[in-house]
Structure 1
Amino acid sequence: MPLLIICGQACGGKSGLANRLVTHFTKENTPEDSVHLISDESFYSCSGKDRNTVYGSPGLEKQMRGQLKDEVTRVLSANKMVILDAQNYIKGFRYELYCVVKAAKTTQCVLFLNCPLDQSLTHNETSKLYSEETIKALHLRFEAPQSTARWDSPLFETSPENVHELDLQMVEQSLTSGRALPPNLSTQNPPRLAADTLYDLDKMTQKLTSQIMGQMLNAEIGDVLLVSSKLSDDLIISEKLKVNKKLSMPELQRIRRHFLDFYKSHTFKDHSQVPNVFFQFVSNAML
C-alpha cells in the first residue's frame, strides 16, 4: 500500500497533520488497522532519550532513522496505508525511503509542512520539546524537498497557517491513482557492461572524487559544495552536496569503489544520472 511521507521543521504541527490524515483515511467504512502511523515519537519513548539528546548525537539520530526505515519496510508490503510522521529533513534518507517504495512496487507522496524558524521557536515556547539551540541547528540542516526530484515527487507543500486548507482528497488521489514505482533494477539480471563504459565511469568518478576532496578541504560543516561534471562538449551537469561530515580521501575512494560495484549491477538509460547517484552515495556516507 502507499507511503505518505510527512516532512517538515521541528514544532511545525506535523503530528497534528498526521492524526488528521489518519482520520481522513479511516472515515469511510475503512477498518482502522488499514492505516499504519509510524512516528519518531516511538523512538524517544523506547530509547528513553529526549529530542535534544537524539539530534545532538549523530549516532542516535542515525539509529532513529534506521528504526523508522525498518518499520516502513516491514509494514509497507502489507495491506495498509502507511504514514511516516517525522522531520525527514535529510534528502538522502528520503531517497532511501523512495527505494523501499520501489521495491514494494507501490506509490508514495511527500507532504512538506514548511514552518519558518520564528514560528518553530514560538510554538516551542509552549511545548518545550527542544532547546532553542537544537531548533536553530535543525533549521540549518534542513534539506527541503524539491518537486523536481523523483524521490520527493509528487510533492504537496503547505504552511502552519494554511495546513487546514490542504486538499486531503487530492493527496489521497495522488496515492491511490498514481502509477506504482517500478522495482529496482538490482532485482533483475542486468546486461553485461562494456569495458569502455566502465573505463569512462571510472574516469568520471575519479574526477568527481578529486573535485569533492578539493572543495571539502576548505569547507566547514554545513557548507554546500557545487561540483560540476562535463559529460560531453555540450552537456555539463552541476550538483550540490551538503557537508554534514568531513571525509578523507581514503573514505571517498571507498565510496567510489562501492558506487562502481553498484553500477555494475544496474543499468542507466540516461548517463547524466550518474553524477547525481554518485553524490547520493557520498551524501549518505556523511549521515
Structure 2
Amino acid sequence: MALVTISGFPCAGKTRRAEQIRASLEQYLKDETYQGPISKVALLSDDILNLNRSVYDGERDPSHRPATIHSPTSSLLDSRSEKPARGALFTAMQRQMALDTILIVDALNYIKGFRYQMYCAAREMKLRICTIYVVATKEQCKNWNETRQDGRVYAPETYEEPSSMVRWDSPLFTILWDEDAPPMPQIWDAITKGNIKPPNSGTLSVVKAPTDALQALEQTTAAIVSAILADQTGLGAQLNLSISTLSATLKLCITLPARNITLSELQRLKRQFVTVHKKAITLGTTERGAVDWGDESIAGKFVTYLEEHMKS
C-alpha cells in the first residue's frame, strides 16, 4: 500500500539501502502486532529489468541542466536509449503497485519530472509514498563508480536532488553513506500511517457512458412527458405513473402543481434536462463513483428535475 522511491547519485549505495529497507520491512510485516492490509514487499530495479547502465549515458537538454557529478567535456550525447528504459521501469512499477504491497523502486530516479510521474501514478492507486535519498559526496561516488568490478559502471551523469519542499519527494528521508542503517521506524510510520492523497483530477480516467445512453435518455424522458399529459387528474397532489422504457416498466410518483401542465412547458423542461445530460454522455465524467445511466436512474432524476422546475 505504498511506493518507496530510492534516489541518489550513481554508486552512492542505493541498492544496499534498498535491500536493508526491504529486509526491515519484511520483519515489520511478520510482527504479530501488525494487522494491516500490507502482506508483501516487492523490489524493482534496473538490474531486475536487465537495464544496462549505459542507458543513462549523456546529459539532459541543455536548457534543463541540473548539477553534474563531474563536469562533462563531451558534447550532448544521444539519450534515445534512456527514454524507453525509463518507460520500461515505469510500466513495471505500475504493474506491481497494489494495495497489499510495499513497492521499492531502486534506480537512479534522478529526474524530478520522472519522480513526479511516479508520484502521480501512486496517488491514482491511492498509495502512500516516501522518498529515500542516499547521500554520498560526488568525489566518493565517482571513485566508487570507477573502481567497481562488476561491470555496472555509469558514465558521467546529471542528477536533480530530491527536496522535502516539493510534494512528490515528501516525506523525504536522507541517509548518509556512512550510516549503519536507515531510519526504519520513521519510514514504517510514513508507509503505514501517512496521509493518502486523492488522485489529481487530471490523472483520473474519464468514465464513458454506455453506447445506448443517449437513446435511453430520450426515450425515458419522452415517456414521462407523455404519461403526465395523459393523466393530470391529480393536480396539486402526487401522480402515479407507469412508463415503458428500453429495459423495463417503471412505476414512478411525481408531485404536480395545482394547475394544468402544458405540452410546451414539459417539452421545454425535457430539452433542458436532455441538453445538460447529453454533455456528460458525449464528454464523459470524472465524478466520484460510477455514473448510472440506467432507465430507472434517468427517470428518477427527470422526475426530481420536473418537480423542482414546474412553477405552481
Query: TM-score category by the smaller chain?
Result: 0.5 to 0.7
> 1:27 Cα shift?
1.6
| One-letter code aligned to 2:98 | S
Return the TM-score normalized by structure 1.
0.58
Deviations 1:32-55 (A, max 9, x none): 971110001133x3x6xx313552
2:97 maps to: 76
Does the CA contact (< 8 Å) of 1:6 and 1:83 recur in 2? yes
* Partners of 2:190 and 2:171 in 1: CA distance: 7
1:37 maps to: 43
| One-letter code aligned to 1:150 | R
* Partners of 2:175 and 2:94 in 1: CA distance: 27
Matches within 5 A, 1:212-227: none
| One-letter code aligned to 1:86 | A
* Partners of 1:120 and 1:188 in 2: CA distance: 42
1:97 maps to: 118
* Partners of 1:176 and 1:33 in 2: CA distance: 12
> 1:77 Cα shift?
2.4
Which of 1 and 2 has greater Rg?
A: 2
Does the CA contact (< 8 Å) of 1:101 and 1:181 recur in 2? no
1:270 maps to: none
| One-letter code aligned to 1:52 | S
After the TM superposition, which segments of 4 or more aligned residues of structure 1 sit over 3 Å from their partners?
Answer: 28-33
* Partners of 1:93 and 1:5 in 2: CA distance: 11
Does the CA contact (< 8 Å) of 2:7 and 2:107 recur in 1? yes
* Partners of 1:112 and 1:101 in 2: CA distance: 18
1:118 maps to: 139
What 5-or-longer segments of structure 2 have no aligned partner?
32-37, 59-77, 207-284, 287-312
What 5-or-longer segments of structure 1 have no aligned partner?
190-264, 267-287
Matches within 5 A, 1:170-181: 170-181=186-197
| One-letter code aligned to 1:126 | R
> 1:126 Cα shift?
3.1
> 1:165 Cα shift?
4.3
**Cα gap change, 1:123/1:153 in structure 2, threshold over 3 Å: closer, same or farther?**
same
- Classify the secondary structure of the residue corresponding to 2:27: coil
2:153 maps to: 130
Q: CA RMSD in A?
A: 2.5
1:52 maps to: 54
| One-letter code aligned to 1:41 | D
1:159 maps to: 176
| One-letter code aligned to 2:8 | G
**Cα gap change, 1:51/1:185 in structure 2, threshold over 3 Å: closer, same or farther?**
same
Deviations 1:134-172 (A, max 9, x none): 1xx31xx2100111111111111122112x243111111
Return the TM-score normalized by structure 2.
0.53
Q: Please, which of 166, 183, 189 is the counterpart of residue 199 of structure 2?
A: 183
* Partners of 1:23 and 1:7 in 2: CA distance: 18
